[in-house]
Structure 1
């Protein structure tokens, strides 16, 4: 599919009618879930869940995202809750462990939460971390996983090109599967890929896909070897699949620290991708100290099941956000709904 035929970043994935805002509000619940360890600068993950005709769905853009960007997450939630999913090609999805910016001594305990996972994604390039700390963390992960484990690192665009080149050299001895978003821009990704191509370490793009006006630009520029695809930020399962088809690159399906309801959406996307070469970043329920279900979608034998999640009303009550935060989310839902409606 040519780039010009791609839907707008906040467009709904299908031409079906939007449900009414009252339909969304009827079952909407806002939760504040504590994390096991600080991740992405937060200790508590807030999310909204609501029920559509097809089942429960999730709307959980990060708090700092503006309404235009967040509306893509709402389009995804509506798509998953109101439309039949694409045909699933697999019923279980292999997933990776995720290692936040913890001290090396904490690495074994983090990895132990991801039962049977053979792959680990390690956060690096944090503003409060040094390269030496990153190297020590990655070394600890490699030591736990052994030579047959797969280790990938995620810089979240935290390096400039020179820093990225230096860091990739420093981390190369740990046999990296790939480096995710080493630099922030497409031009920088293309340059670091050119500089390090001889090393044989693939470059993956995440933010350059999900936070870009044109999610195909990184592929068209030859700036990445693979793409990290997330259902919510890209506007839903169908739109993400269209991007996968148009890009023509291998993909890793990942999540954005979702509840198990949102992870089920990601698992459905991963189940529908024609070729799934890499373990997916859908095991992040293990980073949550609480969830909306008593049977969270955590890794078992290195994979998670494909299927819907029904929240437990007791847990929805227990972890309900404060009244102020509930009001904030309800107002945000209304604004994002207006964005989607205006786009129609």
Structure 2
């Protein structure tokens, strides 16, 4: 992607909720998004383009739409390859943050893992250095296209050498076949893996990997990610007994409340993770993690360390392996030098218009006479 021309606006003041619950935005009284005039919303939207410190998920930059609302800032940042139907959940999550706020927290801090992309082993110490001291857990990306298990093992070994006491989990992003996953996890199990995230595609693939490892006496728990957030039925993996835990992300599941419902119904331990969000999006993940009755694993919410620039004056990055739980919705955003050019802004706002039309109560950019508020179940 070529460098976009930059527009440097004055910092935007967001409206804050009054009153707050435990210092955080409380839900709207009726628990519903009010009918919205979309075009008025989009006039206030900010579209940003952030550089990353390292290539991640095949990208070196991250674009996002930031939306101010009466409860704070919302973020809409589905990856570019996602179609409108998949991106609609991300818009729903953005509206929830801006117009409903988040549930009251049950804890004051969230343990988080460091994330190591599919880099060469000699780069591992530098990546870990971006997460500060007292790293308690590390997620290592594996099964990168064009790489083999030898590269994966070298990366995992480098993490183990750098952090002998940390918990290590690997994430294949469903990049292995069942046979490849079983073979690779047998090999990587010597590094005392905490779990393997989405080692193969689909619920059936996860079930097959989990059963094969159990038969072989290989103790590597299986976590479902894509089989939850990309599935028509996010609970199918739990019903099938295909995973030991689930990974939940706010935006792909349509907001904090919907993610909480998935965790409750699944009945499995949950790890809250990010989708390479800005600090605005990460604050929604923190709200979800803070609202879960139990939080047995460190969460994947430390990815702010992968951003070379962020949109807040105080970026949401881990300190001593944890994130504090507080209202991270900024009173103003620091976006100078990050705002996209007119062409990219138009592209993103057109995308918002399309996905907004997919949400109930129906198509249209503004409330029609007698239109009902958007339901939030």
Q: Do both share a fold (TM > 0.5)?
A: yes
How many Å separate the matches in 1 of 2:154 and 2:331? 39
The equivalences for 1:128-207 within 5 A come to 128-146=146-164, 148-197=165-214, 198-207=217-226
- Counterpart of 1:54 in structure 2 is 71
Task: Give the TM-score, by structure 2 length.
Answer: 0.85
From 127, 130, 139, the counterpart of 1:121: 139
User: Partners of 1:256 and 1:62 in 2: how far apart?
Assistant: 9
Q: Which moved more, 1:33-42 or 1:298-307?
A: 298-307
Report deviation, 1:282. 0.3
SS at match of 1:339: coil
CA shift for structure 1 position 294: 2.5
1:245 and 2:286 aligned: no
Residue by residue over 1:56-105, the C-alpha shift from the partner in whole angstroms, topping out at 9 and shown as x without a partner, is 11111101111111010010111111114212101211100000011101
Aligned residue for 1:316, secondary structure, equals coil
| Structure with greater proportional helix content | 1
Question: Residues 168 and 18 from structure 1, CA distance in 2 versus in 1: closer, same or farther, beyond 3 angstroms?
Answer: farther
- Which of 111, 114, 118 is equivalent to 1:94? 111
How far is 1:195 from its partner? 0.5
Give the TM-score, by structure 1 length. 0.93
Q: Quick one: structure 1 residues 14 and 216, their matched pair in 2 at CA, closer, same or farther if it must change by over 3 Å?
A: farther
Q: Which runs of 5+ in 2 are unaligned?
A: 1-29, 363-373
SS of equivalent residue, structure 1 residue 318 = coil
Deviations 1:190-229 (A, max 9, x none): 0100011232210000000001100001111111000000
Question: Corresponding residue for 1:229?
Answer: 248
**Structure 2 CA distance for partners of 1:112 and 1:165, relative to 1, 3 Å:** same
Gaps of 5+ in 1: 1-12
Alignment of 1:288-327 (within 5 A): 288-306=307-325, 307-310=327-330, 312-313=332-333, 315-327=334-346
Native 8 Å contact 1:230 1:256 kept in 2? yes
SS at match of 1:199: coil
1:84-131 Cα distance to aligned partner (Å, 9 max, x none): 421210121110000001110110110111122210000000112111
Residues 165-204 of structure 1 show CA distances to partners (whole Å, capped at 9, x for unaligned) of 1100110110000000000111010010001123221000
- State the shift of 1:338 in Å: 0.6
| RMSD (Å), alpha carbons | 1.5
187-196 or 299-308: bigger deviation: 299-308
Contact 1:56/1:308 (8 A) holds in 2: no
| Equivalent runs, 1:13-32 vs 2, <5 Å | 15-32=32-49
User: CA separation in 2, counterparts of 1:237 and 1:180?
Assistant: 21
Task: Say which one has the larger Rg.
Answer: 2
Distance in structure 1 (CA, Å) of the matches to 2:65 and 2:339:
10
1:18-45: CA deviation from partner (whole Å, max 9, x where unpaired): 4321342132011110000100000100
Aligned pair count reads: 330
Corresponding residue for residue 77 of structure 1: 94
- The CA distance in 2 between the partners of 1:309 and 1:196, in whole Å, is 43
Runs of 4+ in 1 over 6 A off after TM superposition: none
